[in-house]
Amino acid sequence: MNVAKGRMIQVELKNGETYTGHLDQCDNFMNLTLREIKQTSADGQKFWHLPECYVRGSTIKYVQMPPEILDLVKEDMNQNHQRGPGGRGGRGGGGGRGGRGGRGQHRGGTWAGRGRGGPSFNRGVTHPHGVPS
């Protein structure tokens, strides 16, 4: 969506209203800020002109944009792919948390239950492969 910033898009909401305007901002939750908007009611009978509006991502049914934006997205993806992966990598299996263990373990390495029900932890008893006897 970031490639479409500054370009005209049309957003239809789950309630049937449509917003046509220039994309100003977007985030990872598909929350959008549009400028110079023409809002159309769900029945298509009423129109409003707004200077700016915010659309919550969870209310969006679909977003329509010009086909040339899709070409820009493909180019952007190809450029990122050619650069290769950056950074230090993913989560991995190492002890990136100071050797404290992962899910299902308490700080001291004691066995801990997960989810609902059952004991939250058993003090001083280590059970790596099952329930205590």
Give the tens place of pLDDT for each residue, 46-76.
Answer: 999 999 999 999 999 999 998 888 888 888 8
Architecture of domain 2-82: Roll (2.30)
Burial of 23 (0-12, 13-18, 19+ CB in 10 A): buried
Per-residue model confidence as pLDDT tens digits over 11-32: 999 999 999 999 999 999 999 9
Residue 61's SS3 state is: strand
Residue 72's SS3 state is: helix
Q: At residue 130, does pLDDT exceed 70? A: no
Per-residue model confidence as pLDDT tens digits over 72-124: 888 888 887 777 666 666 666 555 555 555 555 555 555 555 556 655 555 55
- Parse the chain into domains and list their residue ranges: 2-82
DSSP state of 102: -
Band the pLDDT of 128: cuts 50, 70, 90.
low
Beta bridge partners of 39: 19, 48
pLDDT of residue 57: 96
Q: At residue 44, does pLDDT exceed 90? A: yes
pLDDT of residue 80: 78
pLDDT of residue 131: 55
The rounded distance, in Å, linking the Cα atoms of 26 and 31 is: 6
Query: Would you say the C-alpha torsion 32, 38, 39, 41 has a positive or negative sign?
Result: negative
Residue 28's SS3 state is: coil
pLDDT of residue 100: 55
pLDDT of residue 37: 97
How are strands ordered across the β-sheet holding 47-55? 47-55, 32-40, 18-26, 8-13, 60-64
